[in-house]
A and B are shown apart, each in its own frame.
Chain A
Amino acid sequence: MKSSRGILLSVLLVPLACLVALPFYYIVVNTLKTQPETAAQPLALPTSLYLDNYIEVFRDIPVLQSFLNTLYVTVLSIAIMLLIGSMAAFGVLIGRGRLASIVGVILVIAFVVPGQATLVPLYRMLAGVELVDSLNGLVVMYACGSIFCYFLIIGYMRSLPTELFEAARIDGAGPFRVYWSIALPLIRPILVTVGVFQTMWVWNDFITPNVFINSPQKQTLVLQVYTAVGEFTTNWPVFMTLTVIALIPMVVFFVFAQRQIVSGLVNGSVKG
């Protein structure tokens, strides 16, 4: 009875999963084909190993430049938002009382406000200080992410025994020492989880670079794929190759961070 139901699920879900995966198979398989081949038989396997599309993409498109741009923005943004978020959580925890409740209320407001509601004034503000069309401008925009970090980090910190911090205080360590050498190492697991989620957000974000970046040499990877569509609408295999190249970093990241993503989903959702 039990095994027959298992077989039923396999028969039902494995083909369905293949169907769900078909778009990915489609773009990967076509990067290895010539243009006429793609048009004639879009779903067939390539008849021979054809790598010209990859050569063409790396020759014609500054993929490496946009990869480095994205890396710069992502690393800097994540470091800043984790620092701001964890500092705030630590401050609220040791401050208690009125400060904590004021900060809590303020940040709930920020949590509800969608980015779109502040986009136009922020664009004007950044234009005023010449941070439009600048990678550092993107980093400033992503500092908004510190609020999400704060909520996850304080949730985690509250689950830790407070004696850990108290003990350090009795030993005479100042609050900054306690934060840096006791609190931060203790909250490493949540920093990793939040960092992974925020990395996926910043790396994949399209709306912010699309609004704030104009120069081709300052494009992020996702924005570059988008602008390339206009150039390659007639040459599908080349566009698909660019897409596959753009997907690789995130897939590699996912493979390494999978455990954090899944456990973050479990912890974040079960607690929330």
Chain B
Amino acid sequence: MADVATTQRPILVEPTVMAPRVIPRLRRRRDGFAAAWFVLPILVVFVVLYLIPLGQSLYYSFTNYNGYSPDVKLVGFDNYVRIFRDSSMLSALGFTLAYAILTTLLVTVFAIPLALALNRRFVGRAFVRSVFFFPAVPSVAVLGLVWTFILSPLGSGVINSVLGAIGVAPIPWLADETLAQISVILVAVWAQTGWHAMLYLAYLQSIPSDIFEASKLDGACPWQEFRSLTLPLLTPAITVSQLLLLTGGLKVFDLPFTLTHGGPGFATRTLTQSIIENGIAQSDIGKASALSVLFLLAVGAVIALQLVLSRRIEERYS
């Protein structure tokens, strides 16, 4: 019996020590099993809608695949070379870059002051806020169509009819290459400024107001306050806003397509329009895939660069 007692003792002791460990471990394993079931659908989405198509884009970009011929050959970097020889794709690249950079700059330049103004009290503030935000509500494609009528090169376009009333000849807003590019960018700024101003406003309202009161007591003038207090505090908002604007700008399709169809010529064509036309309408899968791969790399580079830059800026201020 004594033997039993001594051999039993460790057994008796062990469960009390082990119990809290063993049960969670078992539970964790069971949870891990269940967790896998919960995560499965999103993994299916990832594999079917991202991984496989990405792999195909990459593979087709090195082939002469045209969607019909079963005779698919590897052609190395031919498709990539063809992109840089295709004037429509080059102008799409140029315009998309210009659009992304200019809308980002202009929207930021307008949205920050607008947010600062909306952060103060004045008569009609609710009206101003709603009106500026409103263009973010309807579809951008529909807005593009509305503006085709406003900018119509005919005398009956609103802007031209107003100009006509004061004796100015009709201006071919969407028929001239440079004017069309400017028009598309300005309409984009009109459509997006209010939304981004709301984003900045949300940040401004989360900054404790005693910070500003302290700086006023220190005798800071408005410009000093803006440069050394408001702007640094807004850095996280600027990062978010610019990231959305830049990636959104690179991906743009709806607005230029509905406003100008990418014309006149190729003046307002976007990379997305090029991918769709080459890959789906003309079934030049190889070239469209090569463009898709370059597009992916460009967007990835912009995101990486933006994150590095904003981290640097945040470090400098903090």
Which A residues form the contact surface with B (CB < 8 A)? 5-7, 9-10, 12-14, 16-18, 20-21, 23-24, 26-27, 38-39, 42-43, 83-85, 87-88, 90-92, 94-97, 99, 103, 106-107, 109-110, 112-125, 140-141, 143-144, 146-147, 150, 169, 174-176, 179, 200, 203-207, 211, 222, 225-226, 229, 236, 239-240, 243, 246-247, 250-251, 254, 262, 265-266, 269-270, 272
Contacts and interface: CB of A to CB of B under 8 A. Distances in A.
A96 B303 CA distance: 28
A95 B146 contact: no
A269 B131 contact: no
Contacts of B138: 204, 246-247, 250-251
Contacts of A17: 124, 127-128, 131-132
Most buried by B among A18, A92, A205, A270: A270
Given A7-B122, A204-B138, A95 B35 contact: yes
B49 interface: yes
Interface string B20-45: 00000001100110111111011101
Nearest to A81: B45
A269 B31 contact: no
A26 B150 contact: yes
Contacts of B102: none
Most buried by A among B37, B202, B205: B202
Give the size category of B's interface with A: 35 or more
Given A87-B41, A144-B50, 11 more contacts: A14-B123, A20-B194, A43-B158, A90-B38, A92-B38, A95-B32, A107-B46, A114-B251, A116-B251, A117-B299, A262-B198
A94 B251 contact: no
Majority DSSP secondary structure for residues of A touching B? helix
List 3 tightest A-B contacts by C-beta distance, closest first: A91-B38, A95-B35, A120-B279
Contact of B145 (A26, A225, A250): A225
A88 B56 CA distance: 26
B120 A9 contact: yes
A244 to B, nearest CB: 10
B228 to A, nearest CB: 21
Interface of B: 27-28, 31-32, 34-39, 41-43, 45-46, 48-50, 52-54, 56-57, 60, 67, 117, 120-124, 127-128, 131-132, 134-135, 137-143, 145-150, 156, 158, 161-162, 190, 194, 198-199, 202-203, 205-206, 236-237, 240, 247, 250-251, 253-254, 257-258, 271-272, 275-276, 279-280, 285, 288-289, 292-293, 295-296, 299-300, 303
